[in-house]
Amino acid sequence: MASKNMATSERRAEHLLNDLLDAQGWDRRRPPYGDVLFQTEYRAFPELAMMMRSASKTGAGYGIPEAILLDNETNQPIAVIEAKARSQEIELALEEAQHYAKAFISKGFRPVSIALAGTDDVDFQVKVTKWTGTDWETITYDGAPIGWIPNYEDVVKISALGSGSELRPSMPSQEVLARRAEEINRLLRESDIRDEFRPAVVAAIMIALWQSGRTGGTVSRDPKAILRDINYFCTEAFGTKKFGLSNSLRVDPANKKLANNGRRIVAILERLNISVLTAEHDYLGQLYETFFRYTGGNTIGQYFTPRHITSFMAEITDIGVKDVVLDPACGSGGFLVAAMDRMLKLHSMKREDMVDVVASQLIGFESEPITAALCVANMILRGDGSTGIHAEDVFTSKSFPKASATVSLINPPFPHKKTDTPAEAFVDKALSGLEDGGRLAVILPNSLLAKKDKGAWRETILRNNRLDAVCQLPDDLFQPFAAANTSIALITKGIPHDTKRKTSFVRLQHDGFVLKKSARVRRNSVPDQAEKAVDAIANKVIEAGFSGLANVSASDEWSVGAYIEAAPTEDKELTLAVDVLLRRLASFYTRYAPEIVAQRLAILAQEIDAAPYKEILTKQRIGNAKKLPKEVDTVGGAFEIFYGMKELHSRDGMVPGKTLIISPTEEYNGCYGWLDFSQVIEPPFVTVAQTGSIGEAFVQLEPCAVNDDCLVLLPREGIQLVDLVLAAATLHAERWRFSYGRKLTPQRIADFKLPKSRSARAWVEDKLKVNQEVIDASLQPYLAESEAEFEALEDAEDLADALIAIDDPTELSWKDFKFQSGIE
């Protein structure tokens, strides 16, 4: 029976160790796929086996530690773990871990020793030590021994030669947080907690764990008491000043399902070291962000600002240790935490200093009760309960500071209805809270920076304040939860804008994140231009395609796209855009081959009139196009640019027919569908969308009617088909400059430079030939079926020159188009 109980205890100890390793992001698979070797697995690695050959406790055989943690790139040991079943055996476990570690130390390695004792979620101990060369030294945090297994980054940090024993712990990876958040979310769902209340429940538990650890108490794991204890410690943490807000962060003591699942949720949060790491990192904000993946994004009516963007804004406002920071729409406190983190980074602040910062230098307003409670919780976890967070409407609050803050960071709520408070009002309010010379960084929709009807507001801002910089953010920054394109405006209060002073404009296209499924995740393979953007703003750097300088007057727009010179499109980017363009063209012929042939027959039968576009246009519209810039090697130099057909502005009431309609869509080469419309434009030409899929450009090789939400680019004399393809690819690459607030117009695209690379042209010509084969194969069966109809039409052979696919895809003339159906 004793051996059976011992075996059960060992299995429980192994389970606890696995859980602790998982919580810190260690991959428990064997190298080369993972980081961990358990017990005798090291014998498969000859170098490790040789070192452990006489490392048993008696010295007569192989040592058998519980686990060895490796650097999976070099297979070098960086930590040795020994585990015991009873928590009272922690010193024995540590002694044995150090014994095994010395086998590696004697061969020149520097592994730390980690001891684990216990099997219960609550009753276990962890100790970590490092060899200094003369003795073992305990790893500490704020002077106290750490009680967790460090993650990979921290183990490397600890074991580095010359490093001290005091650890400033790092955050777990996004992947670790995502896995834990997913498990917590599942447990909350099983506990019948609605989506919008889940962040508040997690915050309540985090606060309770922090407060109980701070006061020497314990959150019970007994289902009969755990929820009561969470509410007790949470209320105690909020104190009397924020007592009302504590009601927004509480758990329902009658929820029996949550009472049963609470033990595991508490264990997960403890494994993540929330009691320690909340003082070092925005843990609550990170978990809150991660929850958006599982709760549909808009959990309580608000969208978060990604942490790396809050940090970026703290950088460009150059927040220092003495700054007073205001956020009039503080949400869960991300900007205020970013401000504090920058102060910590610039100055080695003690905890008591940080408490003073939280109490007197961070000011936030939030009217949504749960969100305000989350923000207060974020501050409590860094301070002592005294915060400058106000659960009030910033526009009516009597607590609002008048011209006393030195920095304001804000992401105003996106208005969803006309009755919602507009972003401009938040900007005005933030400026009123700043002293003269104070800096404001605000995230604004791009439409506010460009729309003419917002010009008066922009003019008012510049009359009293200085526009220092505008930085356009990645297009997918707030996706998949919001689709708005945004920019950061950097403004200095109380200094009227001097039009002779240069304003910086920067495009932060890449921030190191990619949109994957339902979240943006960091990828090392993706460029991160944030540091470069900070430098461009601070030092007024000019770089084509990335940053520029401009004199901005009161009547000018603030759009980044208006002030950055276009960079020559790189061959790699160009070939990718061309490949997508031609695949969409081929997909159009594959999808609509029967309709294409039917339209050709209708044109031959004169049911549809095909004419050069300039023969259809008024003299005024032709005259307007002549006024556009037409420099050599630009879009305007290679094409005449016109708006589409006004008759197709609305397709309401139009019945299906045989005429190809092009509209602002990215599907099937811009094909909207086939309607009953009598006039089409003779190809070839380029269309580019002004609305809808703004900037999507396509080469049109079929007669078609073009909606006036598109521009039509007619090639000038001597322009070849390859030039049309390159122009469409260029427009696609520059579409970032445009939005619903800043329309794509002939004037704005005429100066875009066209690629001149000979290798790119040759590559496009080869692709066109391959593409032509796909087009011919798609059309052939339907052309063959219709051969008799073509032959029956009067003068069909004379008219055939005015039709279909290209015999030589490098030629452009409409009259050189030939049938590919085998008709002689």
Tell me which long-range contacts 633-637 makes (C-beta under 8 A, separation of at least 24): 633/753, 633/754, 633/756, 634/750, 634/751, 634/752, 634/753, 634/754, 635/713, 635/727, 635/730, 635/731, 635/749, 635/750, 635/751, 635/752, 635/754, 636/749, 636/750, 636/751, 637/716, 637/754
Question: Contact at 8 Å (CB) between 171 and 284?
Answer: no
Say if CB 138 and CB 165 are below 8 A apart.
yes
Q: What mean pLDDT do residues 595-605 have?
A: 93
Reply yes or no: is the peptide bond before residue 684 cis, omega within 30 of 0: yes
**Average pLDDT, integer, range 462-491:** 88
Q: What is the pLDDT of residues 526-558, one digit of tens each?
A: 889 999 999 999 999 999 999 999 999 988 999
Say if 27 falls within a structural domain: yes
Both structure tokens of 351: 């905890």
Q: Which residues of 147-163 are buried (b: 16+ CB within 10 A; e: fewer)?
A: ebbbbbebbbbbbeeee
3-state secondary structure of 788: helix
Query: What digits encode the pLDDT tens for the residues 309-352?
Result: 999 999 999 999 999 999 999 988 889 989 988 988 887 776 67
Query: How much is the average pLDDT of 706-711?
Result: 96
**Rounded distance between C-alpha atoms, residue 145 and residue 265, angstroms:** 24
- For residue 807, the tally of other CB atoms under 10 A from its CB is 12
What's the rounded Cα separation, in Å, for the pair 718 and 787? 33
CA distance 520 to 513: 6
**Which residues form the domain of 608?**
571-800
Exposure of 274 by Cβ count < 10 A (0-12 exposed, 13-18 middle, 19+ buried)?
buried
**Quick check: is 34 in a domain?**
yes
In this predicted structure, what is the pLDDT of residue 764?
93
Quick one: tokens of 757? 């690379």
Among 170, 201, 227, the domain boundary falls at: 170
What is the model's pLDDT at position 117? 93
Say how far apart CA 475 and CA 580 lie, in whole Å. 19
Provide the percentage of residues in the chain whose pLDDT is more than 70.
88
Q: Taking the chain, what is the end-to-end CA distance rounded to the nearest angstrom?
A: 96
- pLDDT at 815 exceeding the cut of 80: no
Rounded Cα–Cα distance for residues 611 and 678 (Å): 11
Arithmetic mean of pLDDT over the chain: 87
Domain end, chosen from 126, 149, 170, is at 170
Is residue 771 assigned to a domain?
yes
Instruction: Report if residue 421 sits inside a domain.
Output: no
Domain boundary residue, one of 107, 139, 170? 170
662: enclosing H helix or E strand: strand 656-662
What average pLDDT does range 500-505 have in this prediction? Answer: 96
Question: Cβ(148)–Cβ(16) under 8 Å?
Answer: no
Assess if residue 316 is contained within a domain: no
Side-chain half-sphere exposure of 164, counting CA atoms within 13 A: 7
CA atoms within 13 A on the CB side of 795: 8
Q: Which two tokens stand for residue 770?
A: 């391959």
Distances (CA, A) of 311 to 22, 172, 314, 316, 809: 28, 18, 5, 9, 52
Write out the E strands in 33-180.
Answer: 36-38, 67-71, 76-84, 112-118, 124-131, 136-138, 140-141, 144-145
The Cα 131–Cα 329 span in angstroms is 49
> What residue type is 10 in one-letter code?
E
Whether the CB-CB separation of 340 and 349 falls below 8 Å is answered with: no
Residue type, 366: E
Structure-token pair, residue 312: 């970026």
Q: Is the per-residue pLDDT at 806 higher than 50?
A: no
Domain count along the chain: 2
Task: Tell me the per-residue pLDDT of 260-296, one tens digit each, with 9 for 90 and over.
Answer: 999 999 998 888 877 666 666 666 666 666 655 544 4
Residue 558 placed within a domain: no
According to DSSP, the β-strands at 513-516 and 465-472 are unpaired
Strand locations in 690-780 (E): 697-700, 705-706, 710-715
Average pLDDT over residues 648-661: 91
Phi, psi of 660 (to 5 degrees): -70, 125
Q: How confident is the model at residue 823 (pLDDT cuts 50, 70, 90)?
A: very low
10 Å Cβ neighbour count for 282? 26
Please tell me the predicted confidence (pLDDT) of residue 819.
33
* 651 within a domain of the structure (yes/no): yes
Percent of the chain residues past pLDDT 90, beyond the cut: 59
The neighbouring-strand residues paired with 471 are 488, 506
d(CA 814, CA 476): 41
Q: Mind listing the pLDDT tens digit for each residue in 477-488?
A: 887 666 578 999
Strand partners, 185: none
For the stretch 409-448, pLDDT in tens is 999 987 666 668 999 999 999 999 999 999 999 999 999 9
Per the structure block, which two tokens stand in for 318?
């150059």
What CA–CA distance (Å, rounded) separates 710 from 645?
9
Contact 39, 64 (CB under 8 A): yes
Neighbours of 512 (CB within 10 A): 17
CA nearest neighbour of 737 among 456, 442, 449, 536: 449
Place of tokens 């540590």: 94
Compute and round to an integer the Cα radius of gyration of the chain. Answer: 33
Two tokens, residue 252: 């329902």
Q: Is the pLDDT of residue 490 over 50?
A: yes
Confidence tier at 384 by pLDDT (50, 70, 90): low
Exposure string (b/e) for 402-429, b if CB count within 10 Å is 16 or more?
eeebbbbbbbbbeeeeeeeeebbbbbeb
CATH of the domain at 594: 3.90.220.20
- Residue 417 has what pLDDT? 66
Lowest mean pLDDT among 41-50, 95-104, 233-242, 251-260: 233-242
Is 654 inside any structural domain?
Answer: yes
- Tell the residue number behind the tokens 């009561």, with chain if given: 228
Please tell me the distance from the alpha carbon of residue 516 to that of residue 482, in angstroms, as a whole number: 15
**Residue 811 pLDDT:** 42
Give the model's confidence band at 651: pLDDT under 50 very low, under 70 low, under 90 confident, else very high: confident
Are the C-beta atoms of 530 and 312 separated by less than 8 Å? yes
Q: Are 402 and 430 in contact (CB under 8 A)?
A: no
Residues 401, 405, 410, 415, CA torsion sign? positive
Separation CA 548–CA 793 (nearest Å): 60
